[in-house]
Amino acid sequence: MAATAGERFVPAQANTSAAAIPHIEDPESAGFDVQRLGRLDEYLDRCVEMGLNHGSIIMVAREGRMVHASTRGMRDPDRGLPVEADTVWRLYSMTKPVTSVAAMMLWEEGGFAFSDPVAKFIPSFSHTRVYRGGSGSRMRITPATEPIRIHHLLTHTAGMTVAGAADGEVDSAYRAAGIPALGEEDRFSLPDFCDRLASLPLLFEPGSAWNYSHATDVLGRVIEVVTGSSLDDFMRERIFDPLGMGDTGFRMPAEDRLAVPYRTDPLTGSLNRLVTPSLSPGESPPLIAGGHGLMSTALDYYRFVQMLAAGGVYGHKRLLAPRTVELMATNHLPGGATISAFSHQPARPAPHLAGRGFGLGFACLLDPVAVGSLSSRGEYGWGGAAGTNFWIDPEKRLTVVFMMQVMPPPVETWLALRRLVYQALVG
């Protein structure tokens, strides 16, 4: 059950964790109805009972004070290991906001300009080409008229895609180049990976459309070139250590705390254990990329989210200026367009992206009615391929961090969580 007012957080189905969870504030003093908050945990219990996931953890805070935190289910059902406060989760694309923050720290320091061509830092991007149609020997590819710029990487408007997500010839080119699809094993170093991406045709002219892609992976390489440091070292020194995120990184945790990921069978709806690349404790994957790969606990990511919500500072550690965070959370799509309207594949954006634009590393809510959300206009955040999700509502001074491990992410759960959190916010 959820922690009540004044209690320390205790995992719902297991021993107390050694992780230092902040004191749970009185929810009523923060404007929450305690009984209505109970609906949130009842829903998460039903998700486990219905087989939508095996376990999860959620943390809700208002004005920087944690008012609700609870765990449900198992991190490893086969071994009977429950979700605990210090369970480690694969973040997948929730790596992207961290990389975007790292990049914006360098932008503040004059490391690059938004208008800088990526080729200034990665020469292989000097001769990008765009797919124009046709197939096989009749495939038409011409030089891009606009170079890929840093701003394009931050906003997913670079013209790239991911293997398995594009249609036809471009996807075939990604496959032929050995670019792994989501969940497949990464075999390249980041420099090699970026050079391979640079050799592939773009889906569209940079800046002319929005498409979820490997752009943030390339941004990670730009960070390495600018700093002369590896991406994981830079994140550790400039983000994780200052924020006290000691359980976050690309290395496999030494302790047996990692939640098992699952994939939903599209035919039966059952959860099948996902086979992941085998890494020894303390070992890093071959590809340290900006777009995926981080592992973290809910509490660690909670600290990162609180830093953003507080305008770039956590405790006495300032990572970004308040105006920089505001810029990141503002829609950057041309003409104030939504992702759906500016998407290269208008039919593809998931329902949870309806009514949302895109800033510098986050999706931002422009029209709550379009997505049927109780969130405020200006709410921003992002999710991961295995169901992790977070959002920040500046108007209501509200933050939520949620972790689970099922692919593809059940976006219905993300939408339901927003409904359940806000229906309990009554003051």
Domains and CATH numbers, the chain: 27-100+231-423 (3.40.710.10), 112-227 (1.20.58.710)
Residue that is written with structure tokens 């071959």 in the block: 286
Distance in angstroms (rounded) separating the CA atoms of residues 212 and 236: 26
pLDDT for residue 186 = 80
Res. 279 pLDDT band, cuts 50 70 90: confident
Closest alpha carbon to 94 in 330, 422, 384: 384
Rg of the Cα atoms in the chain: 21
**Exposed, middle or buried, 199 (CB in 10 Å: 0-12/13-18/19+)?**
middle
| Segment 140-150 mean pLDDT | 96
pLDDT digits (tens, 9 = 90+) for 201-224: 999 999 999 999 999 999 999 999
Going by C-alpha positions, the residue among 367, 372, 365, 369 that lies closest to residue 329 is 365
Calpha distance 119→160 (Å, rounded): 15
Number of Cβ within 10 Å of residue 36's Cβ equals: 16
Under 8 Å between Cβ of 375 and 422: yes
How far does CA 139 lie from the centroid of its chain?
34
Q: Rounded to 5 degrees, what are φ and ψ at 249?
A: 170, -175
Structure tokens at 134: 């046709």
| Cα separation, 214 vs 163, whole angstroms | 9
C-beta of residue 172 within 8 angstroms of C-beta of residue 112? no
The whole-number pLDDT of residue 135 equals: 83
Higher pLDDT, 169 or 115: 115
Paired tokens of 407: 């692919």
Angstrom distance (rounded) from CA 359 to CA 327: 8
Contact between residue 257 and residue 83 where contact means Cβ atoms under 8 Å apart: no
Amino acid at 181: A
Q: Alpha-carbon distance 200 to 81, whole Å?
A: 44
Token output for 97: 């906001």
Highest mean pLDDT among 126-140, 180-194, 310-324: 310-324
Q: How far apart are CA 200 and CA 146, in angstroms?
A: 16
> Crossing angle, helix 190-198 and helix 215-227, to 10 degrees?
120
Give residue-wise pLDDT tens across range 8-65: 343 333 333 445 567 788 999 999 999 999 999 999 999 999 999 999 999 999 999 9
End-to-end C-alpha distance for the chain, whole angstroms: 23
Q: Which pLDDT band holds residue 346 (cuts at 50, 70, 90)?
A: low
What is residue 177's three-state secondary structure?
A: coil
Rounded to 5 degrees, what angle do the CA atoms 64, 17, 57 make?
55
Chain position carrying tokens 């920089």: 324
Neighbours of 138 (CB within 10 A): 8
Query: Does residue 132 sit in helix, strand or coil?
Result: strand
- Percentage of the chain surpassing pLDDT 70? 93
Measured between alpha carbons, how far is 2 from 57 in angstroms, rounded to an integer?
11
In the beta sheet, which residues pair with residue 391?
381, 400
126-143 average pLDDT score: 90
pLDDT at 324 over 70: yes
Does residue 419 carry a pLDDT above 90?
Answer: yes
Question: What's the whole-number mean pLDDT along residues 316-340?
Answer: 97
Alpha-helical segments (H) within 206-290: 215-227, 231-235, 241-243
What pLDDT, on a 0 to 100 scale, did the predictor assign at position 77?
95
Q: Of 179-188, 262-271, 353-362, give the lowest mean pLDDT range.
A: 179-188
| Predicted pLDDT of residue 348 | 59
- The mean pLDDT value of the chain amounts to 91
SS3 assignment, position 301 = helix
* pLDDT at 3 exceeding the cut of 50: no
Q: What are phi and psi of 199, to 5 degrees?
A: -80, -10
